[in-house]
Amino acid sequence: MRVILAEDSTLLREGLVRLLVDEGHEVVAAVGDAVALVAAVEAEPPDVVVADVRMPPTHTDEGLRGALEIRRRWPDVGVLVLSQYVEKRYAVELLGGRTDGVGYLLKDRVVEVGEFLDALSRVGSGGTAFDPEVVRQLLARTSHTDSLGRLTERERTVLDQMAQGQTNATIAGHLHVSQSAVEKHVNAIFDKLGLSQTTGYSRRVLAVLRYLGS
């Protein structure tokens, strides 16, 4: 997979470059600010971008704004955002449009090499990957909403896993139940959220958007 990294910490950036190269990925560019990130993507679009949210010069949201520009200008490029903290507005903003090829991980997750590489692979192949802590905090933010409040505890757990980009088969493995049981919960979620089969859009995507963004 072809990757461009944007991380202002030289130590972390170099560490990620070595990790990705060791895992067989091609690091097209590794830069330290959002302007250089967008320029690198324009010069040679990769399969996926890994970008820190807070970057120079103000260390506020430069990386996030760069990531949003990349999603707008190069929709086929996956974007995996790294952040030190759960910044809900940024997570919701990333999900404001298409939800394919996007991820949001806390930097602490990067030290879990297997989880980081799995998230990178999912985002690079058009899937989604959200840190469980991000999902948990967004769930707390939305716990008062009426339609989500109708879900059972098990259905909310399944929706939580869906929001992390997991397939039904993977969710079944995590919950130690059959895939058909997961499919039953997913259909119940669609019904309770009022997502009919005639909407013309992916009900799975709509359910995740309702979960994360309402």
One domain, residues 28 and 121: yes
Mean pLDDT, the chain, rounded, equals: 83
One domain, residues 195 and 106: no
Three-state secondary structure call for residue 167? coil
| Entry pTM | 0.67
- Contact by Cβ (8 Å): 123, 78: yes
| Full domain range(s) for residue 158 | 151-213
Three-state secondary structure call for residue 154? helix
pLDDT, tens digit, 9 for 90 and up, residues 141-178: 554 456 777 889 899 899 888 887 788 998 999 999 99
CATH code, domain with 67: 3.40.50.2300
Structural domains in the chain (count): 2
pLDDT, tens digit, 9 for 90 and up, residues 45-87: 999 999 998 888 888 788 888 888 898 899 899 999 888 876 6
One domain, residues 98 and 187: no
Helices and strands: H and E segment counts in the chain: 11, 6
One domain, residues 132 and 158: no
One domain, residues 87 and 36: yes
Cα(85)–Cα(137) distance, rounded to whole angstroms?
A: 11
